[in-house]
Amino acid sequence: MNIRKLIYKLIKRRFPMVWNKPGGNDNGSHNPWGRKGGEQGPPDLDQILRQFQRRIKNAFGGGKFSGSESGGQEFPFFGGVVFALILVLYLLSGIYIVDPPERAVVMRFGKYIRTEGPGPHWIPPLIESKEIVNVEQVATSDHNGLMLTRDGNIVSVGIAVQYRVGEDNNDVRSYLFNVVNPVRSLNQSAESALRQVVGQSTMDEVLTSKRSEIASAMKEQMIETLKNYNTGLWVLDVVMQFAKAPDEVRAAFDEVIKASADEERLVNQARAYENEVLPRAKGDAERLRNEALGYKQETILVAEGNVQRFNLILPQYQKAPKVMQTRMYLDTIEDVLNSVNKILIDSGTGNNLIYLPLDRLISGKMAEGSTELSEAANTVSTAAPNQAKEKGQ
């Protein structure tokens, strides 16, 4: 009863009526609650609801589903349509599609529930929510600054870090929930790795010889750091963009770099010359060794043959020494003269010898050779009668 009175008072304050106007005396004829004769009391809530439904029905053209106007229960048609429409919109608003390079993290009242892969999915709105994360998008973070090397020099170094979110469900969850700002953590780990690795290297190594090794060392250290932080980020590559000396000493270090480049060029030229000459020298050495072995084998065989020949001649020499000496002499002279390009003709008497320059004839000097040959023939023809006369005398 007290609740009805309270509702009645609230309605009177919110919707003032005629009977509330000052000086109104209608004896209850305008009482909307159905009280006759000015009877006072709490309102009938069921009658209030029926009147509200009737007004809604008249406003939107609704009708009665069952019962009569006085005793049957009335249901507005528009209310059912609105309810169905709201239900359909509620169901449709929960449908979403995850693309192949993305992952959807589903949360229920802010608490992690699951991670959905590519494809269509549904969640109940207002109860569950989702967060879409692209796991194939590669991002780049640049870092540079002045670093102190191990040998006490200062260098200006710049690097570029390529990273993305891991494809595993745990990596996606870690990226969203474990760290407040994973990208900032990655940037801090990159700067820390840059300073530590450069601080452990000399200036010459940073500028020239070990740039790729330094980048690899920074990548490994960043991977280990992010793994310990459990950020869900993967470091794909670390590239050293530039490494140079400060402006005050840049000219001197440019000369050093140029000298190093010249040294490397000369070393490459020396190696190329070595690769060209060394195989040729090895080939010549192998050829000479084979020739020496062949000459050795030939000499041994010739010596063995001479021994066998001597063993065959020895018995004959012992039987007729004079004949064998003469034969051996003639054979020796024949062998010697076969390798000489000069011919000596014995005139038959005296000590005069005729010389025929066959070397000139062989070398192509036919004109001079023919002249000398004719002179020699004339000499022979002249000397022959003279010798005959001398013999006749």
Is the pLDDT assigned to residue 278 strictly greater than 60? yes
The larger pLDDT score, comparing residue 248 to residue 114, is at 114
Q: What pLDDT does residue 360 have?
A: 64
On whether residue 189 sits in a domain, the answer given is yes
Counting DSSP H helices and E strands in the chain, the numbers are 11, 10
| 132-161: average pLDDT | 89
Distance CA 226, CA 165 (A): 12
Residue 115 shares a structural domain with residue 153: no
Q: What pLDDT does residue 45 have?
A: 59
On whether residue 310 sits in a domain, the answer given is no
Q: How many CA atoms lie within 13 A of 19 on its CB side?
A: 14
DSSP 3-state of 349: coil
Q: What pLDDT does residue 378 have?
A: 59
- Residues 34-60 have pLDDT tens digits of 454 444 555 565 676 677 667 666 655
- Residues 20-32 have pLDDT tens digits of 444 444 444 445 4
| 314-336: average pLDDT | 84
pTM: 0.47
Q: What pLDDT does residue 330 have?
A: 87
The larger pLDDT score, comparing residue 132 to residue 324, is at 132
On whether residue 302 sits in a domain, the answer given is no
Q: What pLDDT does residue 19 have?
A: 44
On whether residue 219 sits in a domain, the answer given is yes
- Residues 91-140 have pLDDT tens digits of 888 899 999 899 999 999 889 999 898 999 999 988 899 999 999 899 99
Q: In total, how many domains does the chain have?
A: 4
Alpha helices in 320-365 (DSSP H): 321-338, 358-363
**E strand or H helix that includes residue 260:** helix 250-319
The larger pLDDT score, comparing residue 381 to residue 371, is at 371
> How far is C-alpha 40 from the chain's CA centre?
92
Residue with tokens 């005729």: 354
The larger pLDDT score, comparing residue 366 to residue 239, is at 239
Q: List, edge to edge, every strand of the sheet that includes 233-244.
A: 139-148, 154-165, 233-244
Secondary structure, 3-state, 177-219: HCCCCHHHHHHHHHHHHHHHHHHCCCHHHHHHHCHHHHHHHHH
- Residues 73-87 have pLDDT tens digits of 444 566 677 788 888
Cα distances from 60 to residues 57, 79, 246, 295, 303, in angstroms, run: 5, 10, 82, 127, 138
> From the CB of residue 241, how many other CB atoms can be counted at a distance below 10 Å?
12
Residue 155 shares a structural domain with residue 192: yes
- Residues 206-233 have pLDDT tens digits of 877 788 899 999 999 999 999 998 999 9
> From the CB of residue 190, how many other CB atoms can be counted at a distance below 10 Å?
25
Is the pLDDT assigned to residue 148 strictly greater than 50? yes
Residue 144 shares a structural domain with residue 237: yes
Residue 198 shares a structural domain with residue 185: yes
Is the pLDDT assigned to residue 6 strictly greater than 50? yes
The fraction of the chain above a pLDDT of 70, given in percent, is 67
On whether residue 290 sits in a domain, the answer given is no
Is the pLDDT assigned to residue 350 strictly greater than 70? no
| 339-354: average pLDDT | 62
| 285-314: average pLDDT | 91
Q: What pLDDT does residue 163 have?
A: 94
Q: What pLDDT does residue 286 have?
A: 93
What's the domain range around 19?
2-78
Contact 344, 355 (CB under 8 A): yes
Residue 239 shares a structural domain with residue 151: yes
Distance CA 54, CA 65 (A): 13
> From the CB of residue 226, how many other CB atoms can be counted at a distance below 10 Å?
23
Residue 146 shares a structural domain with residue 234: yes
| 173-193: average pLDDT | 91
The residue out of 134, 153, 182 marking a domain boundary is 134
Residue 152 shares a structural domain with residue 239: yes
On whether residue 288 sits in a domain, the answer given is no
CA angle at residue 253 from 252 to 255, to 5 degrees?
70
Contact 96, 103 (CB under 8 A): no
Residue 161, burial from CB neighbour count under 10 angstroms (0-12, 13-18, 19+): buried
Distance CA 376, CA 370 (A): 10
Residue 37 shares a structural domain with residue 107: no
Of 315, 301, 381, nearest to 347 by C-alpha is 381
The residue out of 226, 244, 262 marking a domain boundary is 244
Contact 45, 7 (CB under 8 A): yes
Q: What pLDDT does residue 273 have?
A: 92
Mean pLDDT rounded to a whole number for the chain: 77
On whether residue 331 sits in a domain, the answer given is no
Q: What pLDDT does residue 256 have?
A: 74
| 336-354: average pLDDT | 65
Residue 153 shares a structural domain with residue 230: yes
The residue out of 244, 275, 303 marking a domain boundary is 244
The larger pLDDT score, comparing residue 349 to residue 283, is at 283
Q: What pLDDT does residue 328 have?
A: 83
The fraction of the chain above a pLDDT of 90, given in percent, is 28
Residue 122 shares a structural domain with residue 144: no
Sort residue 4 into left (φ over 0), alpha (ψ -120 to 50) or beta.
alpha
Residue 129 shares a structural domain with residue 196: no
On whether residue 368 sits in a domain, the answer given is yes
> How far is C-alpha 19 from the chain's CA centre?
90
Distance CA 44, CA 4 (A): 8
Residue 144 shares a structural domain with residue 226: yes
Residue with tokens 């740039």: 211
